[in-house]
Amino acid sequence: MRAAPARRFDLNWPLVYASTVAAEAVLFFLALRQAPRFHALFSWWLRRDEAFESCLTVLVTGVLIVALVKKPPRWAGVLIASSDEEDKTRLSLWLLAAHGAFLAAFGLVWLWLIQRPPLASMQPPDQARFYLWIALARLAMLSFALGALSLVKTRLSMAAAFILPALLLSLVVSNLLSMFQLFLGPPLLQATLPAAHGLLRCVFDQPVYDPASHIIGSASFSVHLWGPCSGSEGIALMLLFCCLFWFVFRDRLSFPRTFVLLPLGLAAVWLANVLRVAALVCIGTWLSPERAMGGFHANAGWLVFAALAAALALAGAKSRALGGGFLAPVLSGNASVPYLAPFFVTLLGLFAAGPATGFDALYALRVVATAAALACFWRRYRDMGWTFSWAAAGAGALAFALWPIFGGWHDADAATTRIADGLHGLPAGWRIAWLALRSAGSIIVVPLAEELAFRGYLARWLVRSDFESVAVGAYSPFAFIASSLAFGLLHQRWILGSLAGMIFAAAAMRRNRLADAVVAHMAANALLTAYVLATGNWGLWN
């Protein structure tokens, strides 16, 4: 008789993970007692400017969730679908070992940080190491959480196997890119300054130029440049964009020819930044300093990056010489285009406008562009059963009622002041036109574009790649949660946005009609718009 093979691993994994958590909690508590400077470091972290990281986090999380669901990696298959306990045990061992390695590196960087000079004198290299420290902490959390998920066999763990890695990896990527642009900023500024000065010499007789103080300008208007003005943020974003483009379309691109997109994109974004600096000085000199610093400086960078990224993606997808050549087959007869095109036009407008921090004078153009995209496919929308439902409108009222519960009325004072100042600076007729188009965009255009993308396409595509074979509202629990979370990440108050997305999805599920989700979304935005117009709390429109 042949003896039964011995089990290679026989560990009590819940006990292993519980012991690990307990031991690390004790070590962390003891380390905190010996490092009072940690509190100052963390306070600096909370006070930093988050616009760059927030945009990166939203972008990367959304792309990674979709990419991981579309083509799950092997570890996700083992974590979710494998019934082989030995495979899961081996994966848990590797993840626990990775957790230990990341935690050890985290501790080493921590020891270095707490011995540095006071935060008042913290230089970009020190800040970059702090970003690395945070990234290592998040990688340690990710490896530990994925290992623990292998012990829980529920639908929630299946959803978390996609959402948690996407969210934490996006935070890690944003940390690493922030670290990258901090290191790159000072040396790149030494190249940006003389290049911009050379352009200004073509239009001004004696431009102001002080490379030691990083000051450049004309006799009547000059600016002081610092790290992000060097183009380092744009270069970091272009690097991220190329990596995401290659990852999402890896099955359709021809490698290594497509790698030529990276140097082209990096060179283009740096040259565009040099032109932006020179244009900033010209606008401040010839028009007004307020227009230069308030409008052009705030929006030009995002607008240029969005245009360059779109051009690079189109070139890479269309040109066989650049490793693509798949754009025409994808667009020809693709059922997803009518659902996604209006939303991508809206998204492009958001990136062009930059972070929502104040008055957007060009909002009307975004509304008109998205409305035009909707009009292009209106024949495809006519057969979707557009009927009104009081129950759906009530669901929208419920979504609106969540605002005060989750603090949605707060944190809008600064934006309210900026929008009020912008409105007061417009003539009466233009002010009325802006408010009318802003209201129409919020109540009609944006709900249509977003519901077509999230409840009409994404929630069904997460059930089956042939999304048209899935009825509207026939969402799986994973599709319901993931599409609502993706919708929430598009908004500044992402928890509130995710809950609203769940309400809109539930409205669509009641009668299996996309129109009900649209009505619910329109009702919520109409109530919010009425409140904004009645109270003048303009910041809630951001």
Among 166, 183, 200, the domain boundary falls at 183
- Domain of 393 in residue numbering reads as 333-542
Instruction: Examine residue 460 and state whether it is found in any structural domain, yes or no.
Output: yes
Question: What is d(CA 503, CA 499) in angstroms, rounded to the nearest whole number?
Answer: 6
Flag whether 401 is in a domain.
Answer: yes
What pLDDT sits at residue 460? 92
What is the CB-side half-sphere exposure of residue 221 using CA atoms within 13 A?
19
Give residue-wise pLDDT tens across range 321-364: 776 666 655 555 567 888 988 888 887 776 555 555 556 666 77
Domain count, the chain: 2
In a domain, 129, yes or no: yes
Do the domain assignments include residue 61?
yes
pLDDT-flagged residues of the chain (< 70) = 1-14, 17, 24, 27-85, 87-88, 114-126, 149-172, 175, 291, 294-295, 298-299, 323-334, 350-362, 406-417, 542
| Nearest to 210, CA basis, from 228, 229, 223, 221 | 223
pLDDT score at 524: 94
Over the stretch 38-84, which tens digit does the pLDDT of each residue have?
555 555 555 554 555 555 555 566 566 555 555 666 555 555 555 56
* Dist. CA 285–CA 102, nearest whole Å: 51
Please report the beta strands in 184-336, taking only residues with DSSP state E, as ranges in sequence order: 208-210, 215-217, 222-224
C-beta atoms surrounding 331 within 10 Å: 12
Which amino acid does the sequence have at 68?
Answer: L
Assess if residue 237 is contained within a domain. Answer: no
For residue 446, the model assigns a pLDDT of 93
Residue 29 belongs to a domain: yes
How far is it between the farthest Cα atoms of the chain?
Answer: 98
**Would you give the DSSP letter of residue 118?**
P
Q: Assess if residue 4 is contained within a domain.
A: no
Segment holding 423, helix H or strand E: helix 413-424
User: Which residues make Cβ contacts (< 8 Å) with residue 116, sequence separation at least 6?
Assistant: 122, 126
Decide the pairing of beta strands 222-224 and 215-217.
antiparallel
- Residue ending a domain, among 183, 213, 244, is 183
Q: Is 111 left (phi over 0), alpha (psi -120 to 50) or beta?
A: alpha
Interstrand relation of 215-217 and 208-210 (parallel, antiparallel or unpaired): antiparallel
β partners of residue 224: 215
Say which residues have a Cβ less than 8 Å from residue 155's Cβ, sequence separation at least 6: 477, 478
236 within domain boundaries: no
205 Cβ neighbours under 8 A, 6+ residues apart: none
pLDDT, tens digit, 9 for 90 and up, residues 260-275: 999 999 999 999 999 9
Of 213, 214, 212, whose CA–CA distance to 193 is shortest?
214
For 490, phi and psi rounded to 5 degrees? Answer: -75, -15
Domain edge (last residue) among 183, 216, 239: 183
